[in-house]
A = this chain, B = another copy of it.
């Protein structure tokens, strides 16, 4: 039985090396934890990844995540009123549903295509690089509860 990801994409150590970053147990632990728990905050990742290592500081998590984002291994999202969240799904331009009640986040595929799915009518002279779409509303649980 084949494990899809190890064939399709490379392993985290390989991807770290490919990005020119050193392979350390901490980094691999953070990346695997993030893979297993998409849209985690730095603090959630710290708590979860620390459990599988002897030592891991919150700062190491912040520094690692910043490096990962800088090298395209990880995407950072910053919903209003919540600490930043991270995910390993970087290949596509997907968007997010955010629950205004409980903060839950769900992925939404890009409505139009793989690349940034919108361009403004009047760009005011800006060179537009990315379009970020966030939907706000209520998740199923909060909708039923309210």
Contacts and interface: CB of A to CB of B under 8 A. Distances in A.
Give the most central of A95, A121, A137, A139: most B CB within 10 Å: A137
A133 B133 contact: yes
A124 B132 CA distance: 19
Contacts of A95: 120
A143 B126 contact: yes
Contacts of A125: 139-140, 143
18 contacts: A76-B80, A78-B81, A97-B124, A97-B128, A99-B126, A100-B129, A108-B123, A111-B120, A111-B121, A118-B135, A120-B135, A126-B139, A127-B137, A129-B135, A129-B136, A129-B137, A130-B135, A132-B135
A134 to B, nearest CB: 5
